[in-house]
Amino acid sequence: MRGRQTVRDMILSMLAVGVVVWVGYLFLPHDADGDGVRTVEYKVAAASAKRAAPYPLLAPEGLPAQWRATSVTYNPAELGGGRGNAWHLGFVTPSGQYAAVEQSDAKPEDMLKSAVSDAKPDGTVDVAGQTWEKVQGPKARALTVQSGGATTLLTGTASYEELAELAQALK
């Protein structure tokens, strides 16, 4: 007799928990169609960073809406932990990959090492009249160029074509 009461009590408890979960699901906000990417606005941060940076800071202008900014930071050298004056702007690309603008007046080899592990040269590509070096690692790739006292590194899991599109938009 005790065994039947235990099973019955367990089933009633599971039903009570199920009702609470179902009510929570109904009334708590959720986006079943979203992909979970949280976007950020970067234009104000870019304008502020352009005033603070000791080099011509680059940010994209005119990228299609499918390029969604997900992170943005500017750290002056005194806060950068040896990374120099460092600008970062991350995106989810139209193909769903990651691409980032990394720009700093730190040593180029240090930047490359932190962005693309085991990087190997992979040729060059011309974008808007400027030659960018292509670099390939096991998990990421990059386009890199030095100008204006800084190194600009476009990196991530995005294809070279998407990185070149990002490079084209930099102003």
User: Taking the domains of the chain in order of start, what are their residue ranges?
Assistant: 1-30, 43-169
- φ/ψ of 163, rounded to 5, equals -65, -40
CA–CA separation, 70 and 63 (whole Å) = 14
Structural fold of domain 43-169? Protein Transport Mog1p; Chain A (3.40.1000)
What is the rounded CA–CA span in Å between residue 143 and residue 123? 10
pLDDT of residue 11: 85
Terminal Cα-to-Cα distance of the chain (whole angstroms): 79
C-beta neighbour count of 42 within 10 angstroms: 20
Q: pTM score, two decimals?
A: 0.80
Quick one: pLDDT at residue 81? Answer: 65
Give the whole-angstrom CA distance, residue 171 versus residue 158. 20
Residues β-bridged to residue 118: none
The SS3 of residue 23 is helix
pLDDT, one tens digit for every residue, the chain (171 residues): 556 678 888 888 888 888 888 777 777 766 656 677 899 999 999 999 999 999 999 999 999 999 999 999 999 988 756 678 999 999 999 999 999 999 999 999 999 999 999 999 999 999 999 999 999 999 999 999 999 999 999 999 999 999 999 999 999
- Sign of the dihedral defined by the CA atoms of residues 58, 67, 145, 157, in that order: positive
Beta strands 86-92; 68-75: pairing state: antiparallel
State residue 147's pLDDT score.
93
Burial class (CB in 10 A: 0-12, 13-18, 19+), 34: exposed
- Give the pLDDT confidence score for residue 32 in this predicted structure: 58
